[in-house]
Amino acid sequence: MNINEADRPKVFCGVVCILIEMGEQELINYKLCSEVSDDQIFQAFDGGFSDYMVNITMEKDQMLEHFFGPEGNDKELSYIALDGNKGIGLILGGIRLMNGVKTMRCGTMCIHPEHRGMGIAGRLMDLHKKMGQACGCKQMFLEVIVGNDRAIALYKKIWL
Ligand SMILES: CC(C)(COP(=O)(O)OP(=O)(O)OC[C@H]1O[C@@H](n2cnc3c(N)ncnc32)[C@H](O)[C@@H]1OP(=O)(O)O)[C@@H](O)C(=O)NCCC(=O)NCCS
């Protein structure tokens, strides 16, 4: 049978392809420093402070003795951010009495330059705050060098 071209049913068959970029997948794990190795803690510290405004380069043993010794941080109160097995972020915490008030003190905080601006610092600070609350601290305390504008901006954004 001959069908006129004009009478032939019009079938429109189309597929719309939508491609959505997922962006780089960040698989960052957060652990207590007591759950990881000293090498990973030092790796996070060394990388995170590699471009710091003041040179605080130190050997692994010196770093661990100082920050978990006289500086008063505790591995049970400190968190590390891991990219795979690599330490890429750190927040050290310790409890002190300041004017009689139980205080969670942030002893150091750093993120590896390649992992900055991704919210990892905020997540670590959140864990730090929650740890303080869980320990019954009534306030948090940290010191920051004048001129460290990025750190100050972060602390203001998260805590103030
Ligand atoms: C400080 C540090 C931990 C912050 O981590 P980060 O991943 O860089 O933090 P974020 O990018 O999430 O937040 C920084 C905020 O500072 C601001 N900021 C970014 N670059 C800045 C700059 N050059 N100057 C001023 N403010 C800046 C932004 O407001 C940003 O927040 P946003 O999300 O609104 O853009 C990290 O930069 C670091 O490890 N620095 C070296 C070590 C250090 O200084 N430690 C702190 C010692 S007290």
Domains of the chain from N-terminus onward: 15-159 (3.40.630.30)
Give me the residue label for tokens 């510290």.
45
Query: Where does residue 106 fall: left (phi above 0), alpha (psi -120 to 50 degrees), or beta otherwise?
Result: beta
Select from 154, 157, 159 the residue to mutate for testing ligand 1; criterion: most ligand atoms less than 8 Å from CB. 154
CA distance 17 to 122: 36
pLDDT digits (tens, 9 = 90+) for 87-127: 999 999 999 999 999 999 999 999 999 999 999 999 999 99
The residue count of the chain comes to 160
pLDDT of residue 105: 96
Question: DSSP 3-state assignment of 88?
Answer: strand
Predicted confidence band of residue 25 (pLDDT cuts 50, 70, 90): very low
pLDDT digits (tens, 9 = 90+) for 26-74: 689 999 999 999 999 999 999 999 999 999 999 999 999 999 999 999 9
* 119 alpha carbon – ligand 1 mean position (Å): 10
Query: Can you tell me the mean pLDDT for 1-20?
Result: 53
Q: Verify whether ligand 1 is closer than 6 Å to residue 150 (CB atom).
A: yes
Task: Indicate which residue's Cα is closest to atom 1 of ligand 1.
Answer: 151
* 117 alpha carbon – ligand 1 mean position (Å): 7
CA distance 27 to 66: 30
Query: For residue 108, which of 59, 149, 157, 64 has the smallest C-alpha distance?
Result: 64
Task: Indicate which residue's Cα is closest to atom 25 of ligand 1.
Answer: 150
* 153 alpha carbon – ligand 1 mean position (Å): 7
Mean pLDDT of the chain: 89
- pTM here? 0.85
Say yes or no to pLDDT of 19 above 70.
Answer: no
Phi, psi for residue 6 in degrees, rounded to 5 = -70, -25
Residue type, 60: K
Q: Verify whether ligand 1 is closer than 6 Å to residue 107 (CB atom).
A: no
CA distance 109 to 45: 8
* 51 alpha carbon – ligand 1 mean position (Å): 13
